[in-house]
Amino acid sequence: MSARSLLSKIDAAYSGARRHFIYARLSLKTGLDLQDPTCLDEVSAGDLERLMGAIREICLDVRL
């Protein structure tokens, strides 16, 4: 699964400020600036693993 498809699950589950702050938390937890779409072009396997772990921890409404 790619970073973009992971984030599309977030976009489908949340909107507005909730989504904004979830993106902020995921950014801090992964070190990726997820609000900058270009950062998704450089995601390593380790980044992807961290992103999946952070989504599992934070986004209780999202199933991966």
3-state secondary structure of 2: coil
Amino acid at 44: S
For residue 24, the minimal CB distance to another protein (Å) is 4
For residue 15, the minimal CB distance to another protein (Å) is 7
For residue 17, the minimal CB distance to another protein (Å) is 4
Nearest to 4 by CA among 30, 29, 34: 34
Residues that bind another protein (CB under 8 A): 11, 14-21, 23-25, 27-31, 33, 35-36, 39, 50, 57-60
What distance in Å separates the CA atoms of residue 43 and residue 8, rounded to the nearest whole number? 15
